[in-house]
Amino acid sequence: MFAQLPQYRDTRPDEFWATRVPAHWQSLPGMAVLVENKRRNKDLAESQVLSLSYGRVVVKPVEKQRGLVPDSYEGYQVLEPGNIVIRPTDLQNDQTSVRVGVVRDRGIITSAYIGLRSKAPWMTDYAHAYLTVVDSTKRVYAMGSGLRQQLGWPDLKRMPCLVPPSEEQEAIVRYLAHANARIDKAIIAKRRLVDLLEEEKTAVLARVIGEATGDRMRLKHVASIQTGLTLGKDYREQPLIEYPYLRVANVQMGHVDTTDVATVAVPTAEAERCTLRVGDVLMTEGGDIDKLGRGTVWDGSVDGCLHQNHVFAVRCQARLLPEFLAAWLAAPEARFYFYVTAKKTTNLAATNSTTVRELPMVVPPLDEQRRLLALLSAQSKPVDLAKTKAASEIELLREFRGRLVADVVTGQVDVRELAESLPEPAAVSTAVGVLQDTAELGVDDVMEMSEV
């Protein structure tokens, strides 16, 4: 299905795509194939709120309609199934988000987004695929205007749009539906493998740490808890110095992400109180219940780094190794402790420094801690290597999907003959979700990577 796809024989150059496209395809401005949505939620006729999330337009649950919500939804736009939504803001600073989604449910969405519907000669599914490729290939980031480079209908109505004949659009949509489904199945298989490997690593951790023998005590007797900066304090008339600092987003399960470290200006005394040291075990105050209470050892990769008040720095005393504490925090006894003591909401949980201090644990002699850590490393290494390999294969599949969809939608390959042999897709959503992973669809049959 993917190997040796033929190319079109007759092609012409296309300036927008900087490549050659099929000679018989039209190139029309956006206004010829798209219509801007101007329907407003007059008299609050519609109440179902929609949200653009990871390239999908989903119904926003009532319980999540809090925080920055408008006084009235009357200014929102009304969308119908088949409409297309584009998030047009902050093109310059955000070049990673998926900005395009297709509507499946009638509802309302903020008028800060651009609502569109396709018109002949564009089919809705092909239009969605085309606009998604404009986004994924970063061409959208050369468009827009203003200080934050915001996209608008004037940009889209002048945008060159490739228009294959209608039967060819149908062939492209059908091919992409089947191709996307097969890639999804491969990704699901790899994700399940990662889940199984994670379960295996948890079992190894429980087995090794379960061997620990020594004094049983509270964490507060072998470590101190350093709380971090509270942002927004008034340091009026005090000299300020700028420092890097870690936020909750930087502290991942098992590592610290330092690719985007923020800075903050505080007095020297405040900075000294919140400066991290190599070997500090970092924990977040809140988040996913499965991750709450897990610790990551700080390696000092950012000099003079501070930490936010929602990140605890646990500083071990001489009789406790930071790596052993991090392993203990991931083991079943500590997981259960944080689960039963956490303040829980629907999907999130929170702890506090007092709860962390009271954590019960076994503290073996240092030599025994080192032995257990060496054993844990040896038994976990094959599992970690397999997880890394599976994660790499998932990323390669995503890249392959993006390249394939772009090639098909812009006419770099000809799928007409192959599409004729394919049955009608079971659901149109598979065709238009061309750049999204669909593990949540609950596909049960798993295909081997060799089939891709």
**Domains of the chain from N-terminus onward:** 1-13+169-212+366-452 (no CATH), 26-163 (3.90.220.20), 215-363 (3.90.220.20)
| Least confident range of 4-18, 112-126, 202-216, 425-439 | 425-439
pLDDT band at 440 (very low <50, low <70, confident <90, very high): very low
Burial of 147 (0-12, 13-18, 19+ CB in 10 A): exposed
| pLDDT score recorded for residue 91 | 75
| pLDDT score recorded for residue 426 | 63
For the segment 99-111, what is each residue's pLDDT rounded down to a tens digit?
899 999 999 999 9
Residues with Cβ within 8 Å of residue 129, at least 6 apart in sequence:
172, 173, 176, 405, 409, 431, 432, 434
| Least confident range of 64-73, 353-362, 371-380, 389-398 | 64-73
Region of 194 on the Ramachandran plot (φ > 0 left; ψ -120 to 50 alpha; else beta): alpha
Over residues 267-283, mean pLDDT: 94
| Least confident range of 9-18, 98-107, 337-346 | 337-346
Q: Judge whether residue 402 has pLDDT over 60.
A: yes
List the beta bridge partners of residue 307: 246
Q: Judge whether residue 116 has pLDDT over 70.
A: yes
Q: Judge whether residue 436 has pLDDT over 70.
A: no
For the segment 48-104, what is each residue's pLDDT rounded down to a tens digit?
999 888 888 999 876 555 545 666 788 899 999 999 999 988 776 666 778 899 999
**Residue 324 and residue 209: Cα distance in Å, rounded?**
9
Residues with Cβ within 8 Å of residue 405, at least 6 apart in sequence:
129, 132, 133, 136, 176, 180, 434, 435
Q: Judge whether residue 431 has pLDDT over 70.
A: no
Instruction: For residue 395, give both structure tokens.
Output: 């990323």
Over residues 340-353, mean pLDDT: 85
| pLDDT score recorded for residue 114 | 94
| Residue 89: DSSP 8-state | S
Amino acid sitting at position 230:
T
Q: What angle do CA 70, 74, 77 make, to 5 degrees?
A: 100
298-304 LR contacts (CB < 8 Å, sep 24+): 298/256, 299/256, 300/276, 301/256, 301/258, 302/244, 302/246, 302/258, 302/261, 304/243, 304/244, 304/271, 304/275
Q: Judge whether residue 446 has pLDDT over 80.
A: no
- More confident of the two residues 185 and 439: 185
Q: C-alpha distances in angstroms, 348 versus 214, 270, 343, 344, 408?
A: 34, 30, 9, 6, 41
pLDDT band at 428 (very low <50, low <70, confident <90, very high): very low
Cβ distance 309 to 227 under 8 Å? yes
Over residues 444-451, mean pLDDT: 29
* Mean pLDDT (the chain, rounded): 88
Over residues 7-28, mean pLDDT: 96
Q: Judge whether residue 396 has pLDDT over 90.
A: yes
**Residue 236 and residue 366: Cα distance in Å, rounded?**
47
Q: Judge whether residue 441 has pLDDT over 50.
A: no
Instruction: Single out the residue of 435, 409, 408, 403 nearest to residue 6, CA to CA.
Output: 408
Over residues 161-188, mean pLDDT: 95
Over residues 389-418, mean pLDDT: 95
Q: Judge whether residue 405 has pLDDT over 90.
A: yes
Residues with Cβ within 8 Å of residue 242, at least 6 apart in sequence:
263, 264, 265
- More confident of the two residues 321 and 290: 321
Instruction: Single out the residue of 213, 356, 349, 230 nearest to residue 283, CA to CA.
Output: 356
Give me the phi and psi of 261, to 5 degrees please. Answer: -100, 125
- More confident of the two residues 71 and 320: 320
pTM tops 0.85, yes or no: no
